[in-house]
Structure formats: structure tokens, C-alpha cells
A and B are shown apart, each in its own frame.
Chain A
């Protein structure tokens, strides 16, 4: 399906085929462990706390002394030049023809490929002589320090393009700042994503359409959020259901009815009641008549007769002085005597479906009515610290400045400069008073309205829409630390997808945020807002977001679609009521109906609710690992799951939680039986669904997904003019062999083998799981064989054993992959060469402490890329 030129003789003709091959092989692991060991010996294990406080402990003591001619070229001569030198250029790669030292060093992409392939033990190829661990380390150090010019003391943090808030961040920020929920998923067009994340700054552009939406949104949000007056009358609303269950339907005019409820008043004052009601009448005439009475504390204040009228509403209003305390409101329906039809002295109830009823609408109680006792509007103190603006002109302007300084500081996530503030004040209609004591012109717009105008402008300002960062004023490093305000935003948009809260702002203002970073990270992760991080990171890393919309046909996935369609078509042709009892035809129909009912249950096995549950399951699992600081390896292999009753049934897991409680609709942590294949994200519905085709599983998609998102070693694109493997396999579908057999045939082809051997076994290991995530033992009648062998040689019999390998010999690949994805998400850009050292450090730390989740998050936050910034303007990070 994907084309590029390809030659049969050597599977590694092209450089891009080399990049990112998986590091598999027991020898590879040994080499990596040796490498890690060597580094640990060199630098000593740096405790995490120190890493966070001061991050430059990793030294590369030999870097200054490495000479290409003396140290590196001999290694390349011995292990590489046979294919990539001396006139050979396998895969289009030549390593010995750089015209100068400068040219050699100016080609980081090539050397990154070399680094990755050597690290992953893909090169030199299987069977060829390999460099020693020391030589590998030397080569890696040379590439990182001299080609990438990474200063191990201070890795290049790369350049993060000015970051526009994406629509999720915008929505969360507005909720936090303004206290209103503005549904950007409807109001704004979707954001483009880059490198798998929709917070990638380079991909977040602004079209004229979006500009327009931003301006409209600013006005709309301020209008909804900011009170325009300083006083409103207090009110409470009484829902009609408080009068009892009958209120919902309404009180019939045929029977006397009395219902009451109570409400409280806080003080003795004048109050006003407003009671809107409907007289609900049937379409056809009904002769009932009744009088409707409202009483307050026993005293009637409204009484009026009503009768049938299909379109009538009424309004009872009453103002009075009420004492402090409880009051009773009563509604009474009194039927008027009508010309009743009687039989033997008893009234005949004629149920002709006609009716007249009284139905109440929500009742409003306002008060105290005295203006001096009005209250400040809700949300008022979010923006205005005082209960009332000063009446003096001069004071009012000073107060406006105070209000807007505070607001803009939060909206822009850093202190606002005077120039901006002055322009904003003048836009809003504030100015300098001629002299102290001048009263405010009563005809002017209200103080609050002017402030609202300024806030609209602030929300339309690029300072709000973009995250503007500055270096710390006292940092004189080549790559200075970002200032504490920028750090606060980087943290809050990483962990909350929202703006910093007051505590972060205060710490930043006092210059205390960096010093308290570990504590703040813990606090932020424990905060409910961190679910945004779970949703957005997992939603994109594992594509959990897609589980609700990916097209999957449950019947086809279970191999029942044909049968279902046939039975449905048959039943459509069956005429009703033609067969006699005991008839052969009738039996057939009965059977068909019976089977049809069964199949319908399968058809609905993947309804919207179970899809939503699956997404919640993956998020709950990830959240548990993060919040409880579990080992990240549990994401891949765990003896527990997060299930509710529906999911447990779907997966066929005995539905009881760890404490033995029966499951209900809520997700709970459940211990799995020892032999259960479930446990971990790879056997959850989300992964199994989003890697399937609409009607069947796709081992190729599943394998590629794991290479890409779990092992971090994406496979090269397929060569040109070769039929897609699964497509070709399916042409022989009528032979009813399994997908595995057909893939096997193709894997024997040398052309396909080089890549497919890498991901087919990974995908086929999950063939016991259908496209809807349920377990199956057979496919097309043949037993599913999930066994396989990784390209590195580790054999496995089933998915459990594969998981053990992933968290065993392959765990460094997983650590690195997850670190790469999280770092990219955290800084909102694609990774660059300078990030290699930061990643090395995080992986080492993870390996040293068993992969604890906090190590990953803290390591990413401690990295140079997250802590520092480039200051030279104009340069753009060379992404890899």
C-alpha cells in the first residue's frame, strides 16, 4: 500500500529502512545493560531529587578527547565500511565520503540513524561482527557531543514555536479564568496535530476563520461571565416537583387537591413571589371547571376559576413582607360542581381521554426587595474584589487598574506591563480625572461594563491566545532557564491542559516554584484537573479518543454477519399467520426467530456504552499507574484490570472486584485469575478496536502499532508494487485457512520477510482477541495459534508470554518510547537531536528504580527541554 523503491538483494537499501529498527536480540540487551552499567559507574547514580534541583550531573568525561580520526574511524572501518564505505553504499548510505570534517558533522540525520540502529542492535546486521560495548559507547558519545553538539552540561532545549492554545486548552483555561464553560468542540474548527499530538506548536496555525471565532468567543464569554452591575436582587427558585409527585403530571380539575412546600427567608423584609402556571387541556373538549388558589402561610393571595382551554397559562404574583424563617406555599384545586352524569346515584367516570389539569412552572421568590439590601451578583467577586466600585472618578480609575492588573496577569499567565495596561484602560473608557474628588458621570456606562469591555479585548489579545515565554532574568546560561511564570504554564498545560492556579502563580511571583517543584508536581497530579493529562496524553498516545468512533461491525468481527443478513432477509419474506401449529415451516420460523434474537445480542455487543466504557477503562488504568506511582511496566503486563459489570461480561471475566464485591456500573480495580490473558493496555478494548479493520482484526496494524507506540521502533514503509499483505492473504479466504497461515506464506518471501518478521509476530500474538476485544479460541474453525518468535529470537507461546518479554528483555525500548512520547507532548514539539541525552537520562533512571511512573514525569519535567529555552531569535530547531 505504501510505495518506495526497493531492491531484492539487500533488504536495507534505504536509509529510512534503517531508522528505528527495534533493538531486539539477547546480545543487544547485554550490550545495553553494559552501556547502562558503564554510564552508571561513570557518573554514579544521581538521586532523583538532585536531578530536579540541579540537572547537570551527567558528565561525559571523554567527550572532549574523542577524535574522529583516532577513535571513531577505526570502529567504522572495522564494522561499517564494508557495506557503507569503500565505494559501497548499501541502503543509500555512505559513511566514508564526507569531503571535510565540517561536512561530516553537519549531517546529524545520518548519524542519528547510525546511533539508533547501533543502539537497537540492528546494525551491524545479524551474523556480522559487532563492536564492543566500549566502542559502541564511544561512537554514541561522539555522535551526541560532536555531531549533535550536545553539551552534556546543558543540552540544547530546542526551540518551541510560539504556542497557541489548542481548543481543549482554550476551553479549560476559560473555565478556570472566567467560570463559564465555552464548548470549543462545537464553536471552533478542529486543531491540526503534528507528530501525533494536537498540542504541537508548529502544527497549531491560525486561519482567518479561527481569528474570527476568537473575537466572537471573547465577546460571548465575557458577556456570559462578567456581571454588568454591582447589585442584583436575591432570588430562589422552587421547582414544582417540591409539591410532590403529582406536580409533574399536573392536578386534575376533576378532584379536589391540595399540595404544599416550604421555603426559607434569611431576614424580615419585602419579598415577591412569581408563580407561572399552565392550564393543560386535552385536544378535545372536557367540561371540568375548577378554581385555582395559592396560599402563603395559610393566607390566600390568588384565586381564580379556570376551565378547558387548549392554550392557557396564568401568572400569580404577590409581594408582601415576610418574617425571617420558614414559610409555607400551598396550591389548592377546587373542582366546581358540574352537571354530572349519574347512574344509580353514582357518578359515571367517562374515560374519553379528555382532561383539564393545573401544572406549575418553576416559582421565583425574590427579596429582600429593598435596593439597599440587594446582593452582589454571582461570579462578581471572581473579577471584582470590592462589593462596589468607588464613586469617585480618581478612585474608580485606580480601582479599574487594580482589577485589570489582576485579571490580565492571570489571563496572560504572567504580569502585564504598564504600556499594555494603559492602552487597555483607555480602550475601556477609563481616563484621568481632572482633579481628585470629581464624581463619576451618571450617564456613563457602568464601571462593570467598562471592565467587561477591557476583558473582551484581553481575551482577544495574542497574549492570551499564545503562551508567551521569557527567560529567567537571573539566568546567564547559554540556554537560560525559562522564568518561573513560563515554568508554571509549562507545568499546568502539561498536567492540567489548563492555566496555572493561584498557588502556582504565587510561587512563580515569589520565585519559589523551581525550589518546590517535587511538591508541586505531586499536588498537581493529585488534583482532579490532572485527568485532562490522562485523557489527552493517553487519548492520543494510545488513540483512546478514537474508540468511540472507530468503525467496527460487531457481527462481522465475530464472523456472524452473513448468517445474520440471511436470517433477517428470510424473516422479512415470511408472511405472518400462514403456517399451522406443528407445521414444519413453523418450526423453521421459530428456530430462525430464536437465532435472530441471539444474533441481535451479538450485534449490539459493541454499543456506544461499551465503547465509552472501554475508553474509561484505559484511562482509569493509566491514571492508577500514574497516581499510585506504580511501575510503568504494569501498563503492559498486570495481574489486575479496571472493569465494571458490563466490561467484565464483555471480556468474559468473572465479575467480582478484588474485595469480592459484585461489580456494578462503576469501574473498579479487579484482580485477574493467574491464567487470564487480560491485564494491561494491550489487551484492553481500546487498543484491540483501534487497531482493527471494520470487519476483522488486523495483525499488521496491531504489530505496527506496538512497534510505533510501545517499542518506539517504527517499521519502514512497505515497498512499492507489493500487494498489501493482509489484502493478498484474504484473496485466498475461500480456502478458509487462518490469517496466520496466509501471512506465513508471505513471510517466506524474502522481500516481505525483512520487515514482516518484525511486526507480524507481535500482531499475531493478539489473534485470540477479536476486533471487538472479546476472546476467541478459533478462527474460521481452526484453533488460533498465538505463538511466535520476535526477530531477536525470544520465542513465546501466547500473549501472556509476549507480555512477559515486553516487560523483560524489551523494557528499555518501552521506557525510551514512552519517554519520547511524553517529552514530545510535554514540550509541544517534535523531538530534536539535543533531546537524546535527556532521554538517555530518563531511561537510566527508570531502569534504576523499576520504572516508577513518577520518575518518568519528573524526569521529563527536569529535562533541559522543559526547563530551558533558546534565546537567539530566528533559529528553528532542526527536528529529526
Chain B
């Protein structure tokens, strides 16, 4: 069956739509979550009923008339101001700087070649220069700039150089925000990654792999593991809705609660027997349980959004562009349905040596960044930059197309940071980082400019964004020295 047929099937087959829409609560006792339930579809040529799995069908997302399920989440049920969302996107290995930063300044600027895909989004973005991450510099720690680039990116802190024990960096900005405003949505925050395959062996120069594959940190010692599997993200966010009665729901809810109580009790009794560093591990589990309890509470408080009318995504796609696009789509839908207001997406860890045969680039990305004296390499790195930019542009377009109940676009009410923790991946510099801030933050941002900030910590930008997310009393974040003016 060709792809186009799949799509037309999706439009015409109510059976399929029903199956996608039916389902169960995401968490409860004794439920088979069977995402690949066989469904029967009809072959138009033979008329034969065939068993098909949803798996293969989810390549494309047919985003629907989305107005039908706009933000619904208010505690009181009263209409409130449209919420502001923030997302942080990590792009690996910095940028080919001479082809990346615009020329001109302020609102009078020209996009450089690597940013051409954003041309139509010009009025919705600001490019910012002059932001640094001094804690990603080698300082006393020697090699490991790629690991530090990831670890410092959203924390503004120096990662303790250790391959395993005593991992420590800092709470990341998304988690600072989520901790404060996360109770207003069904999910406090969302962590995604397109790095589904990990290199084995040691990571960068004596740093634990935890620093390189996580950009979101709940506490200085506990990373928020990101989800690489789009199908799992979808099921987690939108679950499988159950057509069960109130009594049955209440029964399940009670059963669920008693399970959570039991596990919490058990963890506590265990903690009494353990030493300090062991305590921390069980504590992580206890925090996780608490977070789930809070979420259940929130889910009961806020009406569940209608399940988005998109096909259930397949398991992690082989095609990298497809993987990125679907993760961006999920992020967009999560924002649009007000399922969460804070998200991070790691496109690939820093130092990624991915080859791009689909672009005719057989060499690895990291390898090429260290061949700067050769034109072919500079040209290819720039092409990879464009590749990532195209994906980002597509995401912004999607956000711009999604409408809020008041008619504004989701993009207008968002603040999307797109950037890298390394500036020049050849020389491993961490000053003048490539940073784009997209969206208008509900009118709080001056989109449509090239902001040449005086040299200052990237944390200043985060502090300003936290402000606009409603955390006005936050005095400091990471290595901030103040707020970033002019955004």
C-alpha cells in the first residue's frame, strides 16, 4: 500500500479513526497497553480484510482543524489570558559562524545563508549574538568541551568532571520554570530527544554520558531522561481514552492510589536502612511517585484535551528528518492543547558524528567541523546547519498555523530558544553562541530583529525568559549577571 493510500484511508475509514481515538487511561492497574493492536482494513483492489498495524501508518501527521481543542486548562473553568509557553531546542556542534549570523542590526538585518529557511519567519524571530557560557570553557577541567556544552546549555553551571560518581551540574532553566508553573498543566514539562542510539564505551573525555545526553536537570544531580520514541510520547500525552463509567473510573482511581501509597510507604521504609548516597537513589524514585500523584491530581482538575486528530506515530523512525519533524509536531500539539508549557528537545548531543548521506554528506558532522581549513568541509557543515534550520523553520510554521481560541497563533504566545552550547565547534569556543529566540511571548518579545548584545552570560537570557513566564522574583539563574535587555 502506498503512502498516499494510507492517508486517504485515514480520511475515509471511520473504523480506523475510532481505533485511534479509543483507548484507555494512560496509567492504571491491570491494563494491557497494546499500542500495536492489529486493526482490520480493507484492501480496495481485492476487497480483502487485512490485519494492519498502526505502526506503519504514522509517518505523516495530518494536523486537523485544531481550533476544536484549544487550551482548556483553567482551574476555575473561567477564561483566562492565553498561556505563554517556552521551549529549548539544542542543535549540536555550534554553527558555521560566518554563514550563520545575519548582517546588519536591529530590525534592519539580512539573514545569512544558513538561516535562509527562516526567511518567511523573519518577523517572528530574533537572532541574538554576544551570549556566552563561560562554565562550558575548559577552565581547570581540561578536555571535554562537547560534554560541557550540553551540560551547561540550560543550567549555566559547571559540570563536575566525573565519569560516574558524584554527578553534579545545576538545575536547568526549564525545570526552574516547570517547578513554578508546572501545576497549571497536565504535564509540568516535556523532555524529548532525537538521539535514540547511544555510542557505547566512555563518553567525552572523562565526563559521564549523563552530561551529554540530558539537557534538562530536575536537580543538580538528577537529569530528566528525555524520551526518544515518538509513539510513546503520543501515548503518554494523549493516552488512550476509556469509555468506562464513573463508578469504574473511581474504582480504578482508588486502586491506582493505593498502589502509589504502597510504593511510597515501601520506599520510605527502605530509606531507613540505607546510607546517604543510596538514599538519594531511592529519593529520586520517591520524587517520581510524588510527581505522578500531582499529575493525577492535575488531570482530574483539568479537563482532558480532546485527543489530537493525528495519526498515532510509528516507533522511532529510521529517517532522521522524519524523526525530528514528528518530535517537533508532538511538541507543537502539546503546546497547542496546553498539555504542557515547558519543553526541551535535544536534536543530537554535542560532538555528534552523524553522517548525512541523504544530503550527500558521507563524512560525520563532528569530523567535518574539525576540517575548517578546507572549503568542502565548511560548505558541508553549513549544509548541515541548513538542514537543522529547515526542520526548525517547519516547526515554527506549524506553531504559526496553530490558532489559539482568541485567534492568535501559538507561536505568538511562545518563546522558543534554538541554539547550541558550543559556538565554533572547531576551536571549541563557548562565547558568542549561536542563539535564535522565536515567538513573541504573548507580545512581550520584540521579534524581528538581530540583537547584538554586549558580551554576557547566556543565563541572562534565561533569567529574562523566566521573568516573562511569570517568575518575576527570580533573582539569579546559573551564572547570570542580570537580565538581557532588548529582547
Contact = CB atoms under 8 A, between A and B. Distances in A.
User: Main SS of chain B's interface residues?
Assistant: loop
B200 A830 contact: no
Nearest to A209: B225
Contact of A190 (B49, B228, B353, B362): B228
Interface stretch (B23-31, B110-118, B390-398, B454-462): B23-31
A540 B201 contact: yes
A16 B29 CA distance: 53
Interface in A175-208: 186-187, 189-190, 192-196, 198, 200, 202-208
A374 B202 CA distance: 56
Given A202-B167, A224-B32, A187 B275 contact: no
Nearest to B260: A215
Contact of B33 (A220, A283, A546): A220
Given A219-B29, A310-B47, A196 B201 contact: yes
A468 interface: yes
B321 to A, nearest CB: 16
B163 interface: yes
Contact of A873 (B26, B44, B276, B428): B276
B202 A196 contact: yes
B142 interface: yes
A205 B138 contact: no
A457 interface: yes
Contact of A462 (B29, B223, B276, B282): B282
B227 interface: yes
B3 interface: no
Nearest to A2: B143
A752 interface: no
A549 interface: yes
B284 A427 contact: no
Contacts of A874: 275-277
Interface stretch (A265-273, A274-282, A333-341): A274-282
Interface stretch (A121-129, A594-602, A632-640, A724-732): A724-732
A556 B376 CA distance: 15
Given A159-B277, A161-B277, A192-B223, A549 B138 contact: no
A162 B208 CA distance: 18
Contact of B266 (A1, A310, A461, A875): A461
A207 B203 contact: no
Given A194-B163, A695-B363, A452 B30 contact: yes
B213 interface: yes
Contacts of A194: 163-165, 167, 208-210
Interface string B357-389: 100001110010011011000000000000000
A191 to B, nearest CB: 8
A205 B210 contact: yes
A281 B427 CA distance: 67
Contacts of A310: 46-48
A551 interface: yes
A695 B144 CA distance: 24
Interface string A453-488: 100110011110110100000000000000000000
Interface stretch (B91-99, B191-199, B326-334): B191-199
Nearest to B289: A211
Contacts of B42: 311
A210 B291 CA distance: 11
A164 interface: yes
B355 A553 contact: yes
Residue of B273, B274, B367 with most partner-chain A CB within 10 A: B367
A135 interface: no
A566 interface: no
A203 B210 contact: yes
Contacts of B15: none
B156 interface: no
B287 A208 contact: yes
A107 B49 CA distance: 74
B370 A727 contact: yes
Nearest to A215: B27
B205 interface: yes
B266 A463 contact: yes
Interface in B256-273: 258-260, 262-263, 265-267, 269-270, 273
Contacts of B28: 219
Contacts of B167: 194, 202-203, 205
Contacts of B336: none
Given A192-B223, A207-B223, A278-B48, A456 B353 contact: no
B48 A283 contact: no
Contacts of A215: 27, 259-260, 263, 292
Interface string A16-55: 1000000000000000000000000000000000000000
A192 B277 contact: no
A466 B283 CA distance: 12
A406 interface: no
Contacts of A435: none
Contacts of A161: 165, 277-278, 281
Contacts of B289: 211
A721 B46 CA distance: 68
A381 interface: no
B166 interface: yes
B143 A718 contact: yes
A693 to B, nearest CB: 5
A543 B199 contact: yes
Contacts of A208: 218, 224, 287-288, 291-292
Interface string B68-101: 0000000000000000000000000000000000
B155 interface: no
Given A4-B143, A193-B209, A278-B48, A460 B263 contact: yes
A644 B236 CA distance: 44
B362 A223 contact: no
Interface in B268-316: 269-270, 273-278, 281-282, 284-285, 287-289, 291-292, 315
A553 B357 contact: yes
Contact of B353 (A457, A544, A694): A694
A468 B167 CA distance: 22
Contacts of B270: 462-463, 468
A219 B25 CA distance: 13
Interface string A687-725: 000000111000000000000110000000110110110
A252 B255 CA distance: 55
B349 to A, nearest CB: 11
Given A207-B224, A717-B143, A457 B364 contact: no
A419 B269 contact: yes
A784 to B, nearest CB: 22
Contact of B284 (A207, A461, A544, A727): A207
Interface in A531-571: 539-541, 543-546, 549, 551, 553, 555-556, 561
B478 interface: no
Contacts of B166: 202, 876
B275 A875 contact: yes
B413 interface: no
B259 A456 contact: yes
Contacts of B409: none
A3 B143 CA distance: 6
A662 interface: no
Contacts of B31: 219-220, 223
Interface of B: 26-33, 42, 44-49, 138, 142-145, 162-167, 191, 196-203, 205, 208-210, 213-214, 218, 221-229, 232, 236, 255, 258-260, 262-263, 265-267, 269-270, 273-278, 281-282, 284-285, 287-289, 291-292, 315, 353-355, 357, 362-364, 367, 370-371, 373-374, 427-428
Given A3-B145, A313-B49, 15 more contacts: A1-B428, A190-B228, A192-B210, A194-B209, A203-B208, A207-B218, A207-B225, A209-B227, A219-B29, A219-B31, A420-B266, A462-B267, A543-B201, A555-B362, A717-B142
10 contacts: A4-B138, A192-B209, A205-B223, A205-B225, A207-B222, A219-B28, A423-B266, A463-B266, A553-B355, A876-B166
